[in-house]
Amino acid sequence: MPRILKVNRVNGLEVSVVFNNGQSRTIDFREVFDKTGIDEKSPAFVLVNPDEFSRFILQNNTLSWNNVEQFITMRDGQKKKVPFEIGADVLFQFSNPEESEAGIKIGHLIRDARIESGMTQQELAVISGTTRNYISRIENDRSDVELATLWKIIETGLGKHLEIKIKPAVPATRHRQAQKVTNQ
């Protein structure tokens, strides 16, 4: 079951999120609203305004808006205001994977180092214990690479030193995130 773990960034009605499968994906809410039938008659129509839209929080592993006038009727007949939510499973369906900058950079770095060393993909594959097809997929960002395999390609295959650093993130506008546990 898809769940949203983190909001990366918001740009108008587009939101970049991290799902529990580890993928960063972008959700274009213009498409979501269109396909789910949110129109002028819907209380959620206020969300087509980017200012109103941006007032969401991450709650119960999905996006939640308290600024939408939505009510449910309780057993005793009383009306209770509830936040507007679209399930994370639906949002996953309307999302698109984001290209991994790290993956693209690693593939280009390997290709550049291989060419600089005067090696073919086949030669690099033989020396590093992989296949030419795998080297090609990595260089063309069509395959992820495990750290141990990356180390073999860089250190053994290319004769270079692999160094991995973790740097502070570039300060970005943080979006409010609330993790609430629901009682069931």
Alpha helices (H) in 27-151, listed in sequence order = 29-35, 50-53, 88-93, 101-116, 121-128, 132-139, 147-151
pLDDT digits (tens, 9 = 90+) for 51-94: 999 999 999 999 999 999 899 999 999 999 999 999 999 999 99
Q: What's the CA gap between 87 and 60, in Å, rounded?
A: 10
Q: What's the CA gap between 154 and 161, in Å, rounded?
A: 7
With contact defined as beta carbons under 8 Å apart, do 180 and 60 qualify? yes
With contact defined as beta carbons under 8 Å apart, do 48 and 33 qualify? yes
* Tokens 């909001």 found at: 7
Q: Where are the domains of the chain?
A: 4-97, 101-157
Q: Model pTM greater than 0.85?
A: no
35, 47, 171 from 88: Cα distances, Å: 15, 17, 27
Residue 27 three-state SS: strand
CATH assignment of 4-97, among 3.30.70, 3.30.2020, 3.40.50, 3.40.30: 3.30.2020
Percent of the chain past pLDDT 90, that is, above it, reads: 71
Q: What's the CA gap between 24 and 79, in Å, rounded?
A: 37
pLDDT at 173: 45
pLDDT at 134: 93
* Tokens 């709650």 found at: 59
Question: C-alpha angle 29/32/35, rounded to 5°?
Answer: 150
Fold match between domain 4-97 and domain 101-157: no
Q: What are 57's strand-pairing partners?
A: 64
**Residue 63: closest CA among 33, 31, 86:** 86
Q: What's the CA gap between 68 and 43, in Å, rounded?
A: 6
Sheet holding 62-65, edge to edge: 57-59, 62-65, 84-85
With contact defined as beta carbons under 8 Å apart, do 65 and 46 qualify? no
pLDDT at 171: 54
CATH superfamily of 101-157: lambda repressor-like DNA-binding domains (1.10.260.40)
Residue 103 has pLDDT above 70, yes or no: no
**Residue 119: closest CA among 148, 160, 151:** 160
pLDDT digits (tens, 9 = 90+) for 29-43: 999 999 988 989 999
Q: What's the CA gap between 52 and 56, in Å, rounded?
A: 8
